[in-house]
Amino acid sequence: MSVLDNIKSTFQQQSKLTVLIILNVALFLTLNIASNIAHIDLMPYVAMPLSGNEFIFKFWTLFTYMFTHTGLMHVLFNLLLLYFSGRLFYSILGEKRLIYVYIMSGIFGGALLLALALLFPETFAGGYLLGASAAVLGIIMVMALYTPNYPVFVFFIEMPYKWFAVLVFVTSTVIDFASNTGGKIAHIGGALFGLLYGYLLKNGNDLFDLSFFSKSRSKLKIVHKNQSVQGQRADNVDESYLNKLLDKISKSGYDSLTTKEKDDLFKLSQKK
């Protein structure tokens, strides 16, 4: 299947990845049409202000900034990374987790920058944060930990996903840190959340599962004996099969899976 066929298939599925892309594109077009045709500047209402006094009255921008772009190359770069990394993410970990990681990485990155802006107001005075970079880096870092050896091609050079993640982070954040420092601080925040989530998930702890935060988990669970045994066996079989598929992906790549295995992987990922 070609790249165009993959893109077409993703959009036909009306997946949550498609929703994220459409939201970014729609807001990009709205901002540019409003600015260049109607001469209305909507950016201050969706980009996150770095002034505490202004943020208090525009608190929703901690969410909307991660869908906000004004430059064509900026939105194209972020959406290309979102599509290719997001597609791998939801095929293995499910679409609900994709939305969760995107939003939480964006919030984490924005909150880190806002905290520093409050501590050093003169450094970030009059600035705004916008762009999906922090959210997308969070997704990339999760996969870098969860499927580190998944092969990807960058300019026709094959490399493990973990080195692709390092390459993206270095080129987008580390190089020329003095330029767009605020945005790059947000990148670090988003990447840190992705690393935290990926590390915990790989060790059997899912932040997406609200019970993870419960301090009063019951150590005893009373269930019907037959249902408990049957359910446990089914879970063990699913987990074993999923691990087998993930091992195959790590060694030979996603395309090495048969059509049935890809379908099984998608179904199992939705149970998580």
Quote the percentage of the chain above a pLDDT of 90.
54
State how beta strands 128-129 and 157-160 pair.
unpaired
Q: Extract the tokens encoding 191.
A: 């990447």
**What are residue 121's phi and psi, to 5 degrees?**
-60, -30
233 pLDDT higher than 90: no
Claim to verify: residue 106 and residue 189 sit in the same structural domain: yes
pLDDT at 220: 39
> 47, 69 in Cβ contact below 8 A?
no
How many domains are there within the chain?
A: 2
Q: Are residues 107 and 60 in the same domain?
A: yes
Q: Once rounded to an integer, what is the mean pLDDT over residues 148-164?
A: 89
272 plus 188 within the same structural domain: no
Mean pLDDT, the chain, rounded, equals 83
- The answer to whether residues 186 and 228 belong to one domain is no
Higher pLDDT, 40 or 265: 40
By the 10 Å C-beta count (0-12 exposed, 13-18 middle, 19+ buried), 124 is classed as buried
Cα separation of 152 and 150, whole Å? Answer: 7
pLDDT for position 131: 96
Task: Over range 244-264, report the average pLDDT.
Answer: 71
Residue, of 85 and 233, whose pLDDT is higher? 85
Q: Residue 109 and residue 189: Cα distance in Å, rounded?
A: 4
pLDDT higher than 60, residue 158: yes
Please state, in angstroms and rounded to a whole number, the distance separating the CA atoms of residues 122 and 143: 37
- In the chain, what's the furthest Cα-to-Cα distance? 68
Q: Please measure the distance between the N-terminal and C-terminal CA atoms of the chain and give it in whole angstroms.
A: 27
Residues 174 and 240 in one domain: no
Domain range for 257: 220-272
Mean pLDDT in residue range 189-209: 90
Asked whether residue 210 falls in the same domain as residue 225, the answer is no
Distance CA 16, CA 27 (A): 17
Q: What pLDDT, on a 0 to 100 scale, did the predictor assign at position 179?
A: 81
- To which residue do tokens 């599962």 refer? 209
- Please indicate, yes or no, whether residues 205 and 227 belong to a single structural domain of this protein: no
Residue 11 reports pLDDT greater than 90: no
Please check whether residues 179 and 162 belong to one and the same domain: yes
Same domain, 35 and 120: yes
Q: Quote the CA–CA distance of 86 and 161 in Å, as a whole number.
A: 13
Q: Do 213 and 224 fall into the same domain?
A: no
Q: Are 154 and 81 in contact (CB under 8 A)?
A: no
User: What local confidence, expressed as pLDDT, does residue 10 receive?
Assistant: 54
The number of helices, as runs of H, and strands, as runs of E, in the chain is: 11, 4
Q: What CATH number does the domain containing 125 carry?
A: 1.20.1540.10
How far is residue 65's CA from residue 50's CA, in Å, rounded to a whole number? 12
116 and 236 in a single domain? The answer is no
Closest CA to 113 of 67, 176, 65: 65
71 and 192 in one domain? Answer: yes
Look at residue 230 and tell me whether its pLDDT is greater than 50: no
Residue 228 is predicted with a pLDDT of: 47
Of 14-23, 40-49, 163-172, 234-243, least confident by mean pLDDT is 234-243
pLDDT at 49 over 80: yes
Pairwise CA distance, residues 130 & 138, whole Å = 16
